[in-house]
């Protein structure tokens, strides 16, 4: 049985994951408006990942006898001054999500909710990957700048990203 504090915190995290998807879709629209469809693809795939994270939490809450409560999703930022600025915000956002996940782990430990702590370890590992990817992409976009052949090549590379749902055995 899921405790009320943990249920509330997981519901807040579901909202945060859906906000992340909304933010990445907003970034996708901005870069696509700038003619960077490959960057747009990367952000749209990132949005799909965030929805899958929300659904993983959603399913877990019900599996543990809790109730999911959908709440309003905050409106995200809609404009950036450059692709570099968008990836700076991406890294900063992923660091914020990491802090939220760490807070959930701390709460699970405080509540002696070992099942939830165990489930959250997948998210802990996922956030290491998310921060690493965002950091590396930010480094690369800084190297290539906001115009020219390097940006074009990076755009083509990011166009190849596809969403791959996590395998069932990873759950």
pTM of the model: 0.94
Whole-angstrom distance, CA of residue 107 vs CA of residue 94:
20
Asked whether residue 168 is domain-assigned, the answer is: no
Asked whether residue 171 is domain-assigned, the answer is: no
Number of H helices, E strands in the chain: 5, 0
DSSP state of 148: S
For 10-37, the pLDDT digits (tens) are 999 999 999 999 999 999 999 999 999 9
Q: How many domains does the chain have?
A: 1
- CATH at 133: 1.20.1260.10
pLDDT band for position 168 (50/70/90)? low
Short-list 127, 89, 74, 73, CA closest to 105: 127
Indicate the average pLDDT of the chain. Answer: 95
Asked whether residue 169 is domain-assigned, the answer is: no
For 94-130, the pLDDT digits (tens) are 999 999 999 999 999 999 999 999 999 999 999 999 9
Residue 104 belongs to domain spanning = 4-161
Asked whether residue 155 is domain-assigned, the answer is: yes
3 contacts 109 by C-beta, under 8 angstroms: no
């Amino acid at each position: 049985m899921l405790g009320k504090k943990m249920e509330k915190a997981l519901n807040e995290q579901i909202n945060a994951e859906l906000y992340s998807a909304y933010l990445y879709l907003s970034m996708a629209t901005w870069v696509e408006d700038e003619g960077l469809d490959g960057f747009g693809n990367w952000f749209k795939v990132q949005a799909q990942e965030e929805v899958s994270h929300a659904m993983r939490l959603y399913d877990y809450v019900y599996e543990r006898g809790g109730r999911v409560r959908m709440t309003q999703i905050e409106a995200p930022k809609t404009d950036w001054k450059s692709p570099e600025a968008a990836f700076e915000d991406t890294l900063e956002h992923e660091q914020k999500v990491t802090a939220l996940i760490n807070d959930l782990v701390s709460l699970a430990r405080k509540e002696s909710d070992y099942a939830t702590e165990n489930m959250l370890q997948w998210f802990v590992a996922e956030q290491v990957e998310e921060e690493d990817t965002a950091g590396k992409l930010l480094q690369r976009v800084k190297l290539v700048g906001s115009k020219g052949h390097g940006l074009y090549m990076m755009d083509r590379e990011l166009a190849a990203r596809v969403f791959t749902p996590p395998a069932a055995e990873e759950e």
